[in-house]
Amino acid sequence: MGVVIESSVWEPNPCLYVFIFLCCFFSIFLLPYSSNKSSSLFEHGFSTSFLRFQRNFLLIFSLASVMEGLWSVFGEYELVNYGVSKEQMVLFLSVGYAASLFIGTFLGMLSDFIGQKKVSLVFFILHFIVGIWKRTTTHPSVLVANICLSLASSIFTVNFETWAVLEHEKQGHRQDTLSDTFWLMTFFESASLIGSQVLANWLVGSNVEKGIASPYTASVFLAIIGIIFLTRGWAEDSKIAFRDYRTSFYTYILGDKRIWLLICAQACLQFSIAVFWVLWAPTLVADGREVHLGLIFPCLLGARMLGSTVFPWLISGPSPFRTEDCLVYAFIVLGFVFSIIAYDYQEIGVLVTLFCLFHACVGFILPSLARLRTMYVPNELRGGMISLSLAPANAAILLFLLQRGYYWNIENAVMLAFTALGLFIAAGCMHILKRWGKQPYQNWHKL
């Protein structure tokens, strides 16, 4: 008599979705009753011009976030559908990070120099070209498409935050309202990524092989909307001369040790996020375990949404915490999360819990670092500073991909351990930044 071994696919409890949703709901709508100022979701105390600006910005930012998410929904499955091998996948991923390192590093400086509008147009044009190419070509070049999308991701990370800050300053809005924009950016980005997954699965339908090209059409359509919005609704001033920009960048960015601490912390965070998205699926399905990854993905982004809602509670309450103190503890928590995962913990429920904790901390850290950049970095140099902070992260992940993908000299646990070390270093940077103090922004020269 044969023995039948039943195999089950692990899925998160549906109550987890309800729990995250309710936590986000109460965190947002109870905020005005426990803080010394209203949230920008509530119109009390905010001018009509500010609300109009913020809503228009979050609309275009969410549109860009959906486009970024559409390309990552199927990921490896799409590459397999084009006949790409595992070795070629590693090559394409490495080339993408190389493009971000050698070209994307200068896109932030280009944004400061020629203006955010032109660089944002490049973002939407890149998505438009890749969408048309994949829709009209039977076997499009994955290598070229990956380079274009990597450059678009670099623009997305750098350009929209810089635009929000500069437009906020140009329109004369209150400086303290920027913090609300920062956490709402993280919140809406996470929600848009979940929405992109829902949209892509709805467009594809039940026949994945025939419908896998449908998201490309949606990307083209969204890119056209973005281009129309930028060309008609965004006026931009002339930018600084190259010689003045170079002098100011050397003085205020390269010559300030506090900025280097921020760069190090941002680089460690970006590296940890990249390592997570490369290794989270292999970690869950290790030893032949079957896991429904598509149902875990919304939990992770929901946790990041929840983490972003914690930010206004800590900085706008009756006794607000100092941002550097909060970041020290958040980075330490992330370091311990990766340390536990590095020891190859096998329980899926524990791993998913750790993954959600990681994203909750990331949801808090992203607006916190953006707030510190506003305190320390001149707005006119912000894009160059952010792109400079991405360069070490891209270089590190490229090195690890080559070592792991081609030479097999490094294991996943070692990558996770190095990530944990980097996060502990980021915590140390925030501790030192707190001790060195802050130079008042109003004392800096205006470019």
Q: Please write the tens of the pLDDT for every residue from 355-413.
A: 999 999 999 999 999 999 999 999 889 999 999 999 999 999 999 888 876 666 788 88
Q: Which residues contact 440 (CB under 8 A, 6 or more apart)?
A: none
> Residue 313's pLDDT is what?
87
Average pLDDT, the chain: 84
Q: Would you say residue 33 lies in a domain?
A: no
> Region 335-347: what's the mean pLDDT?
85
Percentage, residues of the chain above pLDDT 70: 85
Together in a domain, 155 and 231: yes
Q: Please write the tens of the pLDDT for every residue from 117-164.
A: 889 999 999 999 988 888 777 666 778 888 999 999 999 999 999 999
Band of pLDDT at residue 89, cut at 50, 70 and 90 = confident
> Region 281-294: what's the mean pLDDT?
82
Together in a domain, 286 and 311: yes
Answer with the one of 204, 239, 274 that is the final residue of a domain: 239
Burial of 365 (0-12, 13-18, 19+ CB in 10 A): buried
Q: Is a pLDDT exceeding 60 seen at residue 1?
A: no
User: Long-range contacts of range 176-179, CB-CB < 8 Å, 24 or more positions apart?
Assistant: 176/37, 177/40, 177/46, 177/50, 177/54, 178/371, 178/374, 179/311, 179/312, 179/315, 179/316, 179/367, 179/371
Domain total of the chain: 2
Mapped onto helix, strand or coil, the DSSP state of residue 122 is helix
Regarding pTM above 0.85, the answer is yes
CATH classification of the domain holding 121: 1.20.1250.20
Distance CA 71, CA 67 (A): 7
Q: Would you say residue 419 lies in a domain?
A: yes
> Residue 442's pLDDT is what?
40
> Region 340-364: what's the mean pLDDT?
89
> Residue 155's pLDDT is what?
94
**Token digits of residue 123:** 């973002």
Q: What angle do CA 30, 323, 338 make, to 5 degrees?
A: 95
Q: Would you say residue 1 lies in a domain?
A: no
Together in a domain, 331 and 346: yes
Together in a domain, 255 and 367: yes
Eight-state DSSP code of residue 322:
P
> Residue 10's pLDDT is what?
84
CB 366 within 8 A of CB 186: yes
Q: Please write the tens of the pLDDT for every residue from 317-333.
A: 655 678 899 999 999 99
Answer with the one of 239, 264, 295 that is the final residue of a domain: 239
> Residue 440's pLDDT is what?
43
Q: Is a pLDDT exceeding 50 seen at residue 80?
A: yes
Percentage, residues of the chain above pLDDT 90: 44
Identify the top-confidence range among 42-46, 208-212, 419-423. Answer: 419-423
Range of the domain at 298: 241-440
Q: Would you say residue 27 lies in a domain?
A: no
Q: Would you say residue 13 lies in a domain?
A: no
Q: Would you say residue 257 lies in a domain?
A: yes
Band of pLDDT at residue 40, cut at 50, 70 and 90 = low
Band of pLDDT at residue 438, cut at 50, 70 and 90 = low
